[in-house]
Structure 1
Amino acid sequence: MAATAIEALVTVLDPLRIMYMFFGISVGIIIGFLPGLGGPVGMSILLPFIFGMDPYTGMALLIGMTAIVHTGDTFPSVLLGVPGSSGSQATIMDGYPLAKKGEAARALGAAFFSSIIGGVIGAIVLFLAIPIGRPLMQAFGSPELFMLSILGLSMVGTLAGNSPVRGILAGAIGMLLGTIGGAPGVAEYRYTFDWLYLTNGLPLAVFALGLFALPEMIDLLVKKQSISSTGKLGGSQLQGVKDAIKNKWLIFRSGVMGAVIGFIPGLGGSVVDWISYGTAKQTLKNTENFGKGDIRGVIAPEGANNAKEGGALIPTLLFGIPGSGTTAILLGGLILLGVQAGPNMLEGDLPVTVSIVWTLALANIFGGIVCILLAKQISKISMIQADKLVPFLIIIMMMGAYQSTRHWGDLIFFIVLGLFGWAMKHLDWPRAPLLVGFVLALPSERYLHLSMSRYGFEWLFHPSVLAIGAVIILLLAAGVYMRRISNREMQKGEKS
């Protein structure tokens, strides 16, 4: 294995392949920066370019883009309060408040350094999973996947701050909206009102953009000011990097969590950052500033969402099971390159598999460094006056929303959800639980239906199910305990 790894590294470091990797990294940064596009769009753009390439060069291009798209999407999340993709939603919670305080460069520096480390952790997990991938994959059945969905849903109270009841209600509304469209267990359509557009449910990109992006744009126009209320950039990338190094164990924990959750097909892509953010808020001390501009609220999700790519490649490469839209298109790219995903990736095509590991690690390092170098200049976006910036951004967001299904219903729901999100914001209702409930509604229902139809109620007593249940209880208990400690310390501070 060591000889194969060295051989694959030499192959990846070929100047031509490095050039293609940087081309993929550039596309990834641009795609991540434009709200609503994300990995599937970037992969679709690059796919025609790989015709006639050898597998190593083609993978250098595709993995270069895949690795860095969740680094590039940090720019709009921090600077504009707009989710660049589904993997950067939780970054908004503290990244955007930091930008408002004039610390955009600091937030970006911390985010990009965390992304580099998280991406490398994901690559290491992918490498370690090569020999143990098959038994690892077989250990997860529908009961375990359902419990992991519940783990994600357990975060809604945490994400609600001081209003856990509102958080739970928002999560329930999100789950209700997530049931629109075809039922996973039976041939039925729910809440479609005979409108063909709703048969596949509401698109996630439209939901996230409407809920988080449009309300911020409306408020900026009303206030007639720039995003940064101080009129100064403040902070620096170097300060952000120092913050990340100071919280190195948080990055490591988030990276491992991201890789493990990303490994689960259909679950990790849109919720891994929320689980990491919620876990950090529940288990760290002095979390009263989470959601108001705590740098740890940027570090946790950014360490997880890049590591997720390494985990998502495990079922994609070893079993041909795509965990997301991006990896589904990647499977098509493998076929175009003459490589068949599956057991042969551990045998005849092992050098290609290991080269993907190296490309994933190197692309995260190079791409993260490029983003850190660009952060100071791009941070100046937060100082542009709203009346000059917002019209352009709304056009970009509407184009991103329309890309979901290319149906005029995308634009209608973008506006409707935007107004709904604006009302929630001003009525002090948390929006994050609504999104988490929406994302997890379908997988929760699907895995529960499969578990009940296969095992009845016996699955409740599976050792792995009980273990995940214990983790959920521990996290919830830790959240209550840490909240009490924080409240006690705040009361002591007020008395003194």
Structure 2
Amino acid sequence: MLEAAIEALVMILDPQRLPFMFLGIAMGLIVGILPGLSGTVGMSILLPFVYGMDPYTGMALLIGMAAVLHTGDTFPSVLLGIPGSSGSQATIMDGYPLAKSGNAARALGAAFFSSLVGGIIGGITLFLAIPVAKPLVLAFGSPELFMLAVLGLSMVGVLAAKNARHGLLAGLLGLMLGTIGGAPAVSEYRYTFDWIYLFNGIPLAVVALGLFAFPEMVDLLAQNRKISSKTKLEGSWKDGIVDAIRNKWLMFRSAVTGSLIGFVPGLGGSVVDWISYGLAKQTVKNSDSFGKGDIRGVIAPESANNAKEGGALIPTLLFSIPGSGTTAILLGGLTLMGLQAGPKMVTTDLPITLSIIWTLVLANIFGAIACILLSKPIAKFSLISAKKLVPFLLVLLLVGAYQSTRHIGDMFLFVGIGLLGWIMKRLDWPRAPLLIGFVLAPAAERYLWISMSRYGFSWLTNTGVVIIGIIIILILSSGTIIKKLNKDKKNNEMSSIS
């Protein structure tokens, strides 16, 4: 194993192959920075070019891009309150308030350092999982996958602590929007109003951009202000790195969580950041500042969303089970280079698998360093006036929304959901629960249908289902217990002072 790892590293560091990894990193950062463009789009652009390449070079190019997508997408999430991709949605919760207070560079520094650490932990997880991955992946049937979707939905309660009723209603609305289109395993279409565009459901990019980006653009124009309320930027990327190191256990814990959730096919990519954010909010001290510009609310999701890439590659490489559009295209890339995902990837083709791990780690390091060096100048975007910034951003947002299906319906839905998001913001309703409900609706419905049709109600007694159910109860109850303890502590301190 060690000899194969050294052989793979030598192959990756070959002067003829190394530039391809840097090209993939550069492309990944560009796709991540542009709001609305997903990893699927970026990988699709590169896929034709890997045809005929040797596997080491082709994987260096593809993995170089995949590794840093969730590093570059931090820029729009922090600076503009716009989710750069599905994996950076939770970063908005505290990253954007930090940018509005003039601490954009600090938030970016913490995010990129956390991404670097998370990516390395994800690579280590992939390396350690090679001999033991098969029983882990096969242990998850439809009942366990449904319960994991419910675990993600439990974050609705965590993120709507101020007004649980509004959070619950927003989550239910998200679930309803997520059921638009085809029903699982049945040739029926729901809530489409005979509009062919809705037969495949509403694209995630349209919902995310409309819900978060559109309201911010409208408010910036209406108030004719800059993103930052300060005339000068406060803090620097160095302060952000110090913050991340100070919260090293949170960063490590979130990265491990991201790796574990990432290897669950079809679920981890879009919800791992919300789960890590919710767990951080539930378990850290003095969490009342979450959602208002708490640096810990940036560290947790950013370390998790990069770490999950290593976990997501486990079922992709070993069992040909892609967990996302990005990994599905990666499987296509393997085929174009004459490889076949499966047991051969840990036997005959082990050096290639290890080269993927090395590329994942190295790309995260180089990508994070590049973003850290760029964080200070790019943070100055938060000081540009709305009249100059918003028209340019609206064009990008419309292009990002339109690329989802390249149908005019993308534009109409972007504006419609944008108005809904603006109304929710004005009424102080939480928007994150709606997005969580929308993301998890298809998976929850599909796995529930399969579980009921195959097992009836007997699946409720499965060991995995019971364990995940206990975890959900602990998460929901721990927040209440911690709040009560903090309240009692404050009351005791007040009484001692008086």
RMSD over aligned Cα, in angstroms?
A: 1.2
SS at match of 2:17: helix
Aligned to 2:189: 189
* Superposition deviation, residue 454 in structure 1: 1.2
- CA distance in structure 1 between the aligned counterparts of 2:491 and 2:456, rounded to whole angstroms: 49
| Matched letter for residue 403 of structure 1 | Q
SS at match of 1:53: coil
- Taking structure 1 as reference, are residues 271 and 6 closer, same or farther at Cα in structure 2, changes over 3 Å only? same
Aligned to 1:323: 323
- CA distance in structure 2 between the aligned counterparts of 1:94 and 1:391, rounded to whole angstroms: 25
Q: 1:288 aligned to 2:284?
A: no
TM alignment of 1:354-393, pairs within 5 A:
354-393=354-393
Aligned length: 496
Aligned to 2:118: 118
Q: Is the 8 A contact 2:80 2:96 kept in 1?
A: yes
Q: Is the 8 A contact 2:157 2:476 kept in 1?
A: no
- CA distance in structure 2 between the aligned counterparts of 1:155 and 1:108, rounded to whole angstroms: 24
Q: Is the 8 A contact 1:157 1:165 kept in 2?
A: no
Q: 1:275 aligned to 2:275?
A: yes
Structure 2: which 5+ runs fail to align?
Answer: none
TM alignment of 1:175-254, pairs within 5 A:
175-254=175-254
Q: 1:426 aligned to 2:415?
A: no
SS at match of 2:289: coil
TM alignment of 1:144-155, pairs within 5 A:
144-155=144-155
SS at match of 2:82: coil
Q: Is the 8 A contact 1:109 1:375 kept in 2?
A: yes
- CA distance in structure 2 between the aligned counterparts of 1:490 and 1:187, rounded to whole angstroms: 57
- CA distance in structure 1 between the aligned counterparts of 2:232 and 2:185, rounded to whole angstroms: 54
Q: Is the 8 A contact 1:35 1:83 kept in 2?
A: yes
| Matched letter for residue 440 of structure 1 | L
* Superposition deviation, residue 470 in structure 1: 0.7
| Matched letter for residue 21 of structure 2 | M
Aligned to 1:337: 337
- CA distance in structure 2 between the aligned counterparts of 1:133 and 1:402, rounded to whole angstroms: 38
Aligned to 2:11: 11
Aligned to 1:302: 302
| Matched letter for residue 170 of structure 1 | A
- 1:132-155 deviation line (CA, Å, top 9, x unaligned): 121111111011101101100011
- 1:262-284 deviation line (CA, Å, top 9, x unaligned): 11111111110000001111111
Aligned to 1:448: 448
Q: Is the 8 A contact 2:119 2:310 kept in 1?
A: yes
SS at match of 2:381: helix
- Taking structure 1 as reference, are residues 115 and 438 closer, same or farther at Cα in structure 2, changes over 3 Å only? same
- CA distance in structure 2 between the aligned counterparts of 1:487 and 1:63, rounded to whole angstroms: 47
- Taking structure 1 as reference, are residues 422 and 487 closer, same or farther at Cα in structure 2, changes over 3 Å only? farther
My pick for the range that moved more, 473-482 or 371-380, is 473-482
| Matched letter for residue 63 of structure 2 | I
Q: Is the 8 A contact 1:207 1:414 kept in 2?
A: yes
- CA distance in structure 2 between the aligned counterparts of 1:486 and 1:158, rounded to whole angstroms: 16
- CA distance in structure 2 between the aligned counterparts of 1:217 and 1:380, rounded to whole angstroms: 17
Q: Is the 8 A contact 1:87 1:271 kept in 2?
A: yes
SS at match of 2:106: helix
| Matched letter for residue 366 of structure 2 | F
TM alignment of 1:53-202, pairs within 5 A:
53-202=53-202
Aligned to 1:313: 313
Aligned to 1:402: 402
Q: Is the 8 A contact 1:21 1:60 kept in 2?
A: yes
Aligned to 1:37: 37
- 1:381-440 deviation line (CA, Å, top 9, x unaligned): 111001100010000000000000000000000000001000001101000000000001
- CA distance in structure 2 between the aligned counterparts of 1:455 and 1:284, rounded to whole angstroms: 39
Aligned to 1:48: 48
TM-score relative to the length of structure 1: 0.98
- CA distance in structure 2 between the aligned counterparts of 1:231 and 1:74, rounded to whole angstroms: 22
Q: Is the 8 A contact 1:287 1:486 kept in 2?
A: no
- Taking structure 1 as reference, are residues 429 and 246 closer, same or farther at Cα in structure 2, changes over 3 Å only? same
Structure 1: which 5+ runs fail to align?
Answer: none
- CA distance in structure 2 between the aligned counterparts of 1:387 and 1:24, rounded to whole angstroms: 34
* Superposition deviation, residue 185 in structure 1: 3.3
- CA distance in structure 2 between the aligned counterparts of 1:441 and 1:114, rounded to whole angstroms: 29
| Matched letter for residue 42 of structure 2 | G
| Matched letter for residue 14 of structure 2 | D
SS at match of 1:35: coil
- CA distance in structure 2 between the aligned counterparts of 1:412 and 1:270, rounded to whole angstroms: 24
- CA distance in structure 2 between the aligned counterparts of 1:280 and 1:152, rounded to whole angstroms: 14
My pick for the range that moved more, 295-304 or 161-170, is 161-170
Aligned to 2:352: 352
- Taking structure 1 as reference, are residues 77 and 187 closer, same or farther at Cα in structure 2, changes over 3 Å only? same
- CA distance in structure 1 between the aligned counterparts of 2:355 and 2:234, rounded to whole angstroms: 40
| Matched letter for residue 18 of structure 1 | L
- CA distance in structure 1 between the aligned counterparts of 2:126 and 2:494, rounded to whole angstroms: 49
- CA distance in structure 1 between the aligned counterparts of 2:213 and 2:303, rounded to whole angstroms: 23
| Matched letter for residue 208 of structure 2 | A
* Superposition deviation, residue 160 in structure 1: 1.2
* Superposition deviation, residue 492 in structure 1: 6.3
- CA distance in structure 2 between the aligned counterparts of 1:180 and 1:298, rounded to whole angstroms: 32
Identity %: 69
